[in-house]
Structure 1
Amino acid sequence: MTNNPATISHLPFGDTEPLMTVEDLSAYLVIPVATLYKWRTLGEGPRGIRIGRHIRYHRSEVQAWLAARAEAVA
């Protein structure tokens, strides 16, 4: 995950949480980038944010999605 201070300082509402790219999330979840895009078209996967033509993810949203999936399996 890139920690570009310029990017962090421009997040809305004073949020200082770095956003994850699709590639960051792919590496974090150890799944292909194509799977993330497919999940997005199906309305599955963690909630992403469209910024122009790019998709970004809040780490807290990813963690919440993972926790919800863990609860669904248990």
Structure 2
Amino acid sequence: MAHLVCMTTPIPLPHPLPGLPPLLDIRELSEYLGVPVSTIYDWRSRGVGPRAYRFGKHLKFAVADVTEWIEAQRDPAPSARSVPPQLPRR
């Protein structure tokens, strides 16, 4: 009987697991980016969102992939041409 208790008692895992990349589910990514979950699904259907892993019906996003995708969304630095000329001081 004692061996059955050991089989049903979950063993706590360290979080995050050493050596594995941290993953976000779609709800966590939605909250982090401040956009609806439906927007993330739309981005995926158009091929413009962050890369994801699929585990059955579940999507998981590696934090490193999300960070890389976020950086790719950054507006380019303003060029010298796009800065309006300054008027001479008097």
1:36-70: per-residue Cα shift (whole Å, max 9, x none)? 00111111111111111110000110000011111
Hey, which of these two has a bigger chunk of helix by percent? Answer: 1
Identity of aligned residues (%): 36
Dislocated runs of 4+, deviation >3 Å: 4-9
TM-score for the superposition, normalised by structure 2: 0.63
Structure 1 stretches lacking a partner, 5+ long: none
Note the aligned Cα RMSD (angstroms): 2.2
Provide the residue aligned with 2:63 in structure 1.
Answer: 59
Count matched residues. 65
Structure 2 stretches lacking a partner, 5+ long: 1-11, 77-90
TM-score for the superposition, normalised by structure 1: 0.75
Between the two structures, name the one with larger relative contact order (CA 8 Å, sep ≥ 6).
1
